[in-house]
Structure 1
Amino acid sequence: MSIKIRLGYTLDAASVTKNALAREAKVRPNLIYDLCEGKTKRLDLDTLNNIVNTLRAMTGNDYTLTDVLEYIPNDDKG
């Protein structure tokens, strides 16, 4: 199993810049950049909630966790 961070794709589709999201969500810009580049290994749930809620407020779209994260199951058949 793996989790892929889709935040960069979502920001591009919404025409929201990384800096604008960081500013509005009141998080470090480096956090947003690291998320978009797949460099983040751990993410606080409150921070994730804040990012999704900020995206919703900035765009008026109904974003959910699946717009930010993607679950990829293992292909092991045993």
Structure 2
Amino acid sequence: MGLVFLVIVGTAAGFLATRLMRIDTDVPTTIVIGVAGALIGGFLLRGLVLITSWLAGLVGAILGAIVLIWLYKIYIAR
């Protein structure tokens, strides 16, 4: 199912990309361009989401530590 979806989305993306870039290609070339673009875009987006989620976890950990230090200063370290 994933491969079929990739080919369908890649074909549509290739068609739109070739029209936006105003190049005339045959159908197989359009499909190859679209599928390759979908693969590259998918890998880039997956990497971006991975990095973003890692950074969000880091920011969350820092904020959590700040809150704990604040609570420590108020209630324990008197």
Greater RCO (CA < 8 Å, at least 6 residues apart)? 1
> More helix by proportion, 1 or 2?
2
Normalising by structure 1, we get a TM-score of 0.27
Normalising by structure 2, we get a TM-score of 0.27
> More strand by proportion, 1 or 2?
1
Structure with the greater alpha carbon radius of gyration: 2
